[in-house]
Amino acid sequence: MHNRRVVVTQRFFDDKTITFLENAGCTVVQAELPAGQADGNLSHDELVTLLQGAAGWIVGHARVTRELQADLPDLQIISRRGVGYERVDLEAAKDFGKVVCIAAGGNDASVADHTMSLMLAAGHRFRETQQNMITGNWSILMGSDLYQKTVGIVGLGRIGRSLVQRLKGFDVQILAVDEDRGDGFVQQNGIELVSLDDLLTRSDYISLHVPLTPETKFMIDASALLRMKRGAILVNAARGGLVDDKALLDALKSGHIAAAGLDVFVSESDPEYKSVTQELIELPNVIATPHAGASTREGLDRTNMVAARCVVAVLNGENPPAQCVVADGRRAG
């Protein structure tokens, strides 16, 4: 049989998925990462050592550069346990005949739940209240309802749509920046499609659900933040880099933005923003989590399996689900 060695550089890889891969004839190798370290912290040489001879790679946040792919000629499939792919050089994958997949559909529910949690926690000032209680101050802080507010959603992809379903019980008005895909979703859910500028000026809560691309980088900059309603709440559980965190820090300190719920930060990819992130997470009106929106037991089990199914399909010479494929170098060959 041809090479079916699969390396997993992600933590929390469940036994059921490992068994699935083994039953498909794969040899599964799980990278042993130091405590507190993710595959995004591994150097080029460390990754080459781990992946030498592997046909499949189930990856987290490692940078999959052209140079790395060139040094891994046996690698056929790069399968992300997640849905972002900005750290993978897709053109290189096509040039080298490799397939790049994402775990589409695996974590939609988990991230949408997490987004709702950030909205509610920010609006009701949970963090600030509990911090006060720890110091003996049990005075009540006035929060804000989500009920009957205007919620702006930037991006009606899988997670954005899952969020819409969860918002139904709050009797909100939903504005969205996206296109009408003609499947009736916008009309059925009473969504008003608007420009980004309109969404910024009208929304009480804004939630971002778009990929990070050159076009979307810093889409929420100082100017956009100033156009937001005074007292509005911003939630970003999508990608660090959609928001200019320096500008957000200023807007929060000035009181123009009431609060923010953040699961992602610019500093994840740009170390120069590390001090900005530290200042943000120390603010009492910021609810912060460490890019953990998809990290539930159930969500990780689902994304593990989607990623694994993509690997097996490619190693079998078949096509993974179309919604999972972001680059297929086999077609270019």
CA proximity to 64, closest of 42, 31, 83, 82: 42
Q: Which of 158, 291, 302, 309 is catalytic?
A: 291
Whether 193 and 186 have beta carbons less than 8 Å apart is answered as yes
Q: Pairing between strand 5-8 and 56-59? A: parallel
Selected catalytic residue, list 268, 298, 330, 331: 268
Q: What is the CA radius of gyration of the chain?
A: 21
Lookup: tokens for 170: 């709050």
> 84-123 burial, b if ≥16 CB within 10 A, otherwise e?
bbebbbbebbbbbbbbbbbbbebbbbbbbbbbbbbbbbbb
> CA 165, CA 112: separation in Å to the nearest integer?
9
Q: Count the Cβ atoms, other than its own, within 10 Å of residue 310.
A: 27
Give CA 32 to chain center in angstroms: 24
3-state SS of 74-135? CCCEEEECCCCCCCECHHHHHHCCCEEECCCCCCHHHHHHHHHHHHHHHHCCHHHHHHHHHC
Q: Residues 6 or more apart from 94 whose CB is under 8 A from it?
A: 327, 328, 329, 332
44 is catalytic: no
Paired sense of beta strands 150-154 and 99-101, if any:
unpaired
Catalytic residue among 239, 279, 330, 331: 239
Residue type, 138: W
179 is catalytic: no
114 noted as active-site residue = no
Q: Which residues are catalytic?
A: 239, 268, 291
